Each structure stands twice: as C-alpha cells, then as structure tokens.
Amino acid sequence: VTIMKFNQQLEQLLKTLSQFTDAEGELLKQNVKHSAEKFDPELIKLLLNDPDSKAHFFDEIDTATIFNYRKFIDYIDDKNFLIDSYTKFSNKVGLTLSNKHIQQINEVVLSFPFKDCVLEGGQSKDDEKRKEIFFNEVLAKDEINRLLNKKVITSAKKYTQNGVNDEVNFNRNENGLIKDNLIIKGNNLLALHTLKSNFAGKVKLIYIDPPYNTGNDSFNYNDNFNHSTWLTFMKNRLEVARDLLSEDGVIFVQCDDNEQAYLKVLMDEIFERDNFISCISWKRKKEISNDTKNISVQGEYILSFAKTKTTQLFLEQLSSSYIKKSYKEPNKEFPLGKWRPVPLTVSKGLSGGGYKYEITNPNGKKHSRLWALPERSYKKLFLEKSVYFGIDGNGIPQKIMYVKDSKGQPTTNYWDNTSTNKEGKKEFLNLFDDNNIFSNPKPEKLLQRIIHIATKKGDLVLDYHLGSGTTCAVAHKMGRQYIGIEQMDYIEDIAVKRMQKVIGTTVKKDGELLESLDFDSGGISKSV
C-alpha cells in the first residue's frame, strides 16, 4: 500500500470505533492517542486484525506480537496523517473549564498556575513560613480527600456570661442544626470542609478579610503568598464557602487594589457573573500620604456576590449626616418631626401616566401640571396637612415625608464615611491596651453596616479569616448567630478574649444601639 492509501485506510479503520469519532463522524485524534497510551484492548484488537496495520505497528519477537505504541503515536501525530485536522477540529481546540470547552459555555475565565491544585496553606505561628505543597486535583486525589475529610473538633469549651465550661453539649434546633456560636481555631480550609456536614446551605452571610497579598511581611500572619499561590488559596476556600451559603445568602470579600481585579474574575467564575452584586469602595483612611510616589491609596474594596438571584439586601436607615443635609426641622406647620418635601409632579423622564388638573394653593396661586397622583388622593394629602407650598406659599405643591416614616434607603457602593482603619485601631486599643499585637483590625462600624444590609436577627454569619474577631463581636451585639475561624495561636489571646468581653456586656442594649448607623464605635468597655 502507498502511504496515502494507508493513511485513508487507517482513518476508516479507526472510525469504526464510536469512541474515536465526534457527532459529525470526524476522527478524534486525541481519543485515539489516549487509547493507545492505555493499551486499550479494543484498539489493539482492531489494529491486529487489519494486516496492513499489524505490519505497521506490531513487532514480532519469537512467538509474541508486541504493539509498538510509540511508532503508532508518532504516526498519528505526524502532520501527514489527517492533514486537515487543524481545520476539521477547530471547534474542538481550546481551553476547557470543568471538562467543557470554554468556547461552548461562553465564559471568560482566569487562568493561573496551580489553578487545578489544592493548597493546604496552614500555619499557627507568625514566623512559620511553610513550604507549600500543591496537591493536583487529578494526581493527588487521595491526598486531597484525606485533607478535606471531615475532622473532629477537639478541646471545645463553652463560654457564657457565667464563665467557661469544658463540658460542651451543643444546642441544636429541631433539625439538628447547631445553634451555638462557634469560634474555631484551625486551618480554615479544613474547618470549612468539616462545617459542611452541619452548615451546608445554612449561612446567610460570609464576610472575609483575607491577607491582601501585598508582599509586605510586616503583617503578623504570612501575607507573602505570591500571585498565583494566593489565587489558588482563595479559590480552594471560596468554592467550599459557596456550598455553605444559603440560597438567599451573600458573600462580602474585602481586598485592596493588589488583587481586586483578579479576585473579581475568580469570583465571577465561582459564583457566576450574574450573581455579582457590587464592588464597594471603602475609605480606609482620611489622610493622603505625602510621601507616595504616584497615587496615595485611601480606599479598598469589598466584592459582594449573591449565591442566587433570590438575595435581597435590606435597606439602610437614613444616616444622621443625610438627615442633617436633607431634612428640615419641625415647625408649626409640620410639627411631627424632621421632614422634607418631595415633588408631586410627574418627572420628565417618565413616559405616559400622570393626572392633569389644577391645584390652587391656600394663598390663591394656581398650578396646572401633570401630577403623579389623582386629584382625590391629592385632596386627602391636603386634609392630612401633608402638603408643602414653599416658603412664600407660592411654590408648586410638594408632599411631606417625615424621617419617622422612612423605610430607609438602599446602600451605595461608595462608603466614604464608615469608620477607618484608625478607628479600628482605636477600638482595639480600647480593648487590649497594646496596639502591636494585631495589625489593622477592621472597625466595628464597617462590619455593622455589612451585617445590617445582609442579615436579620438570628441569621448565621461566618468569617473564616477572623483575625481579631471584629465580625463575631459585632454579630454578637447585633443578635446574629456566628462562626469565626482563625488558625493563629493569637486567637486565644485576642479573638477569644475579645468575645469574653463582649459576652460580659449588656448585649441587648448594645444590640439595639448597633442596629443604627449612628452608634459610637466599640460598644465594649475594657473594664468589663
């Protein structure tokens, strides 16, 4: 046989096995190669039974016939075999995500070294710089399973207002769900997988403030992950975090501009782009650093994603600065509290709708316009003394809104007045006298704002980068159930001690205070 003929003959022969062809009947070269590498009996039988193929790809040694798989693969790989394969297979070539071609699922994904790995990333002391092992999803399946298998939680203690107790029986609800608050010491990857059996689908809010990967080792924990290692570390944990979220749950992840863009794409991939809520800019410091080379960084970011579309964040109470700016003091005409006028006319942008009639102000001035409500409703408002006619009585009639009747307003993605790192430090000093034992605790007001918009009383809040314990302290004061995870030894001296102080205060009073945006930071006195 000539080479050309043999090419065609082999192609036809291989196509007789369905696993080697695609839907259009074209040969899948990769599948053939994989079969050859595995010495797949079906393929070998097929070749053996074809005399030309047998002659090409088998060696006779004594009485044995041996498949020369190297020769076979080289032949298949040769550019003369399936000369048109590059065009024929154009829609088979490309990146894959979870075994599907990205081209088919239309996703933009973030690719980085070790993406297919699990990184244990555990340590308990500041100075331990671990040499990390990357466990490949395929190659190290056993090791990964062992790593992520449910672990036993040991040495539990129960802290109550009456003191510490070593005998722990968890309080559970009628469905067996643990209702106690938990502070867990340990590697968060292992702890999260362990929590899955009890809390999968139960967490309403996850807030984390992970190491930012600034490359700055002055942090007390290991913040020196390099870029792709950091992304692997985040991915491993976010994937299990997602399993813990309830259907209407939300996650808020704090970061700075070192990783914000990458983290957004990674989270798009894990939580899906459609579930992105917003990227909040938080002003972490008021001062501009004059010694900055180019741009002084005053802000950082909080990326928020919903687990599913069912999430509805809660409104915020009107802030005192907004009330001060936008509301008028009570007076004789409107004595029921601070108030502001809102237009009754139909705004220009609105197409259709509106009621046309003439209103006569009490001083006789007439206004004929398109109004947002029918004349009957207007008259009712007027009788309720809820209409404002301007300082001189000539103004276009407007409706009165009292502060006390406001249901609040949606939050924004620009938080320029929600405490700063300096306030976080001050609160910490108020608790511990020593500023040096923990860098950059978040201010309580920041957590209060997040917990307020994302949860209601009794909901479960999780922070698996607990640090100094801000999330749990605020959740406790706001009457939420909470779980905090931190692996460093300092958890005992910082987060646990902090929680003991919080438990010792009159929580109910503080809880109510903290629901308002106007609470004074802290809410815990160190004398308790």
Ligand X SMILES: C[S@@+](CC[C@H](N)C(=O)[O-])C[C@H]1O[C@@H](n2cnc3c(N)ncnc32)[C@H](O)[C@@H]1O
Residues near ligand X, by CB under 6 A:
121-122, 187-188, 209-211, 221, 441-442, 465, 467-468, 470, 485-488
Report in angstroms how near the CB of residue 210 gets to ligand X at its nearest. Answer: 6
Residue 447's alpha-carbon distances to 389, 441, 474, 481, in angstroms, are 42, 11, 7, 14
Report in angstroms how near the CB of residue 484 gets to ligand X at its nearest. Answer: 9
* Contact assessment for residue 317 and residue 407, using Cβ atoms and an 8 Å cutoff: no
Question: In this complex, which beta carbon is closest to ligand X, that of residue 467 or of residue 511?
Answer: 467
- Hey, how many other C-beta atoms are within 10 angstroms of the C-beta on 294? 5
The whole-angstrom separation of Cα 342 and Cα 350 is 16
Q: Is 288 helix (H, G, I), strand (E, B) or coil?
A: coil
CA dihedral 248, 252, 258, 262 (to 10 degrees): -10
- Hey, how many other C-beta atoms are within 10 angstroms of the C-beta on 528? 12
Question: In this complex, which beta carbon is closest to ligand X, that of residue 122 or of residue 299?
Answer: 122
Report in angstroms how near the CB of residue 444 gets to ligand X at its nearest. Answer: 9
Categorise residue 31: left if φ over 0, alpha if ψ from -120 to 50, beta otherwise. Answer: alpha
Report in angstroms how near the CB of residue 144 gets to ligand X at its nearest. Answer: 16
Token pair belonging to 341: 């006028």
Question: In this complex, which beta carbon is closest to ligand X, that of residue 400 or of residue 514?
Answer: 514
Identity of the amino acid at 237: R
Report in angstroms how near the CB of residue 471 gets to ligand X at its nearest. Answer: 6
Report in angstroms how near the CB of residue 426 gets to ligand X at its nearest. Answer: 13
Report in angstroms how near the CB of residue 494 gets to ligand X at its nearest. Answer: 8
Q: List the one residue out of 233, 203, 231 whose CA is nearest residue 307.
A: 203
Q: List the one residue out of 116, 98, 117 whose CA is nearest residue 107.
A: 98
Residue 218's alpha-carbon distances to 211, 221, 279, 391, in angstroms, are 12, 8, 27, 59
Question: In this complex, which beta carbon is closest to ligand X, that of residue 249 or of residue 467?
Answer: 467
User: Residues of 111-126 as b/e, b for ≥16 C-beta within 10 angstroms?
Assistant: eeebbebbbbbbbeee
- 14-17 long-range Cβ contacts below 8 angstroms, 24+ apart: 14/46, 16/46, 17/42, 17/43, 17/46
Question: In this complex, which beta carbon is closest to ligand X, that of residue 423 or of residue 510?
Answer: 423
Question: In this complex, which beta carbon is closest to ligand X, that of residue 211 or of residue 511?
Answer: 211
Question: In this complex, which beta carbon is closest to ligand X, that of residue 232 or of residue 468?
Answer: 468
Of all residues in this chain, which one has the CB nearest to ligand X in the complex?
A: 467
Q: Is 201 helix (H, G, I), strand (E, B) or coil?
A: coil
Q: What is the DSSP string of 382-435?
A: HHTT-EE--TTS-SPPEEEEEGGG---B---SEESSS--HHHHHHHHHHHHS-G
Question: In this complex, which beta carbon is closest to ligand X, that of residue 9 or of residue 440?
Answer: 440
Report in angstroms how near the CB of residue 130 gets to ligand X at its nearest. Answer: 10
Report in angstroms how near the CB of residue 488 gets to ligand X at its nearest. Answer: 4
Question: In this complex, which beta carbon is closest to ligand X, that of residue 76 or of residue 303?
Answer: 303
